[in-house]
Amino acid sequence: MIELEGLTKRYGAKLAVDRLTFTVRPGIVTGFLGPNGAGKSTTMRMMIGLDRPTAGDVRIDGRHYADLRDPLTYIGALLEAKAVHGGRSAYNHLLCLAQSNGIPRSRVHEVLETVGLTSVAKKRAKGFSMGMGQRLGIAAALLGDPRILMFDEPVNGLDPEGIHWIRNLMKRLAAEGRTVFVSSHLMSEMALTADHLVVIGQGRLLADTSMPEFIAQNSRSYVRLRAPEQERLRDLLDGAGITKVTAAKDGSLEAEGTDAARLGELAAEHGLVLHELSPQQASLEDAFMQLTAESVEYHAHSGGAAGAVDGHVLAEPPVAGVTAAGATTAGQPAAPAAEWGAGWREQQSGGRKSRKGS
Ligand code: ADP
Ligand code: MG
């Protein structure tokens, strides 16, 4: 079990993680979902002591990471950036980790087998493909046979076969009763893997719910209508008591709580021409986009800051500084991630070295 209590991380003026409180439970896969820059990696780094919280607390089975003896036997982590020493073979990399964590050598062979790297175990990791590197990272996470596993964007850059393999592995680990916490910026990925969902945006908790619940609440069905005389169509819907009508950006109307047949008949009765009449099911991806719309740091389009989002109002208004920054950057090119990226990687690899592993 992982318990976060008001976990907060500030980098200068930037609040990367903002008072996160939630619990990651054993026996299921918990998806940690949020757009790029939401604070997922920062949160995960704080869980394993690679970053110090500005405020709040995170506990691994009731204890702070720093207080765990042989931490690899409690929690295994695959972080976003590669931690492999390029010149070493996969076998030696894992052996070093094992020896510095009191893990028997035999376990190295086991995990190499589990991730399917046995045949290339003596090859230098430098020559590994992205997928092989990822498998090696996972082998390291599994090394201490920990009850808690954490994967930061594990499917990034993998081929379909690798993605499939990782999904099954996570499910299997959860079925063994382990705590599995996996991050992604893709709703589609989470929908296929996670039993429970924690959604964050700009460091803040937006949802903490079971996957089926999230699907039930967010797969809105509606009918899309398009008419040359949109105003008349609107009046017609109003008159018929169909009040849950939203105007979409593309000029169509979205009517809820009724079906296409009734709407078609209504239009016919009044001699109104329709150019579109189509039943729709909002995708989970749409639901995720809506939920996080206000919290996306930099919009790809220049449409300005996102407006209020129906039904998904944040618990509190965003921090003033963050809103202001978001507003002033809207319409301008996004600030390059590289500004801090280099320093971050340095810090991360430095932190890792001093910790003798993940
Ligand atoms: P995610 O993993 O969800 O994409 P991150 O945790 O990497 O998000 O980043 C959250 C926010 O914190 C981003 O705005 C990022 O720019 C910022 N950030 C992350 N690490 C650092 C750092 N070492 N220094 C300054 N800002 C950082
Ligand atoms: Mg990340």
What are 20-61's pLDDT values in tens digits? 999 999 999 999 999 999 999 999 999 999 999 999 999 999
Per-residue pLDDT tens over the stretch 308-349: 333 333 333 333 323 222 232 333 333 333 322 332 333 333
Considering the domain architecture, whether residues 177 and 204 belong to the same structural domain is answered as: yes
Number of domains in the chain: 2
Q: Is residue 302 part of a domain?
A: no
CATH of the domain at 121: 3.40.50.300
| pTM given for the model | 0.73
Q: Domain of 261?
A: 221-280
Considering the domain architecture, whether residues 19 and 98 belong to the same structural domain is answered as: yes
Q: What is the 8-class DSSP label of residue 310?
A: T
The answer, yes or no, to whether any atom of ligand 1 lies below 6 A from the CB of 344, is yes
Instruction: Report the nearest-CA residue for atom 25 of ligand 1.
Output: 11
Considering the domain architecture, whether residues 89 and 234 belong to the same structural domain is answered as: no
Last residue of one domain, picked from the residues 255, 280, 305: 280
The tally of CA atoms less than 13 A away on the side-chain side of residue 17 is: 26
pLDDT at 307: 34
Give the β-pairing of 148-152 and 75-78. Answer: parallel
Mutate to test the pocket of ligand 1, among 8, 11, 79 (most ligand atoms within 8 A of CB): 11
* Beta pairing partners, 156: none
Q: To 5 degrees, how large is the angle CA 38–CA 42–CA 43?
A: 90
Residue 188 has pLDDT above 50, yes or no: yes
Output the CA 154–ligand 2 centroid distance in Å. 10
Q: Is residue 89 part of a domain?
A: yes
Considering the domain architecture, whether residues 106 and 6 belong to the same structural domain is answered as: yes
* Beta pairing partners, 63: 60
SS3 24: strand
CATH of the domain at 246: 3.30.70
